[in-house]
Amino acid sequence: MAPKALILRTAGTNCDAETDMAFQLAGAETALVHIQHLISDKVNLADYQILAIPGGFSYGDDIAAGILLAVEMKHKLTDALHRFVEDGKLIIGICNGFQVLVRTGLLPGNGASEMAQRATLAMNTSAKFECRWVDLETQESPCVFTTGVKARVYLPVAHAEGRFTAPAKVLSELEANNQVVFRYAENGYPNNPNGSDSDIAGICDATGKIFGLMPHPERFLTKWNHPRWTRNPTNTQENSSEEGDGLVIFKNAVHYAESNLL
């Protein structure tokens, strides 16, 4: 039986269909679920093995990006989220979803049952919305989602509040625990599009089962998503594979769920 992935949506979410397709291509059984269906118990989070919080502008990013959805999850789904994490299930947050995970305290995590925010995604140092493709360097980490991912990947970003920043103590913990999953391959603007500390583009918790990143892997699932896919593959390696760089992230999650969670 295929593992089940719940793609969470709410007002302002706009990358849910792409994330849903990514998990379908990876072999999961998927469901697009509005958060109110979880809060009202119409849908039981425990029935799923993977939770995905996709990109977009949840609740218009009022006050700060992702904060209202984070507060809603933290205070209305507390028990369900705790059980989901304690059961060793997988969570991925992409762009706005990453902002949500950081603001709930699920990332970077602190090993305690309570969720407390220890980092943030702040306004880009350019003070504007950044939308471009970027090179990422895969770091050694326990992240389930990036097992076997190649050393350098190419993914698009689209955000205004993507600058990962945290106190020095938290940054040191991330480095010591190998919780940095992706870094922007080149420091300095525009290669690092937001000015994040230590060029951080994505992190996981200490277990590697909760993962957040600002770039959008669901937007590069096949070679035809690549901005230069029409180039002759004999002259470039950019479109030599039928799969885009992002698909393996979802395949890894589905494979892990099949092997360990069902």
Q: Which residues are catalytic?
A: 95, 216, 218
Q: Which string of DSSP letters, residue by residue, matches 98-114?
A: HHHHHHHT-SS--SSSS
Q: Where are the alpha helices (DSSP H) in the chain?
A: 16-25, 35-39, 67-76, 78-86, 96-104, 168-176, 247-256
Residue 195 has a CB neighbour count (10 Å cut-off) of 20
Structure tokens at 75: 């205070």
Phi, psi (deg, nearest 5) at residue 231: -70, 150
4-9 sheet: strands from edge to edge: 29-34, 4-9, 50-53, 90-94, 210-213, 200-204, 180-184, 130-138, 152-159
**Residue found under tokens 């072999």:** 27
Grouping H, G, I as helix, E, B as strand and the rest as coil, residue 26 is: coil
∠ CA 37-106-120, nearest 5°, is: 110
Nearest alpha-carbon partner for 55 in 64, 46, 65, 47: 65
121 within 8 A of 98, measured Cβ to Cβ: yes
Render the burial of 96-132: b for 16+ CB within 10 Å, e for the rest.
Answer: bbbbbbbbbbbbbbeeeeebebbbbbbbbeeeeebee
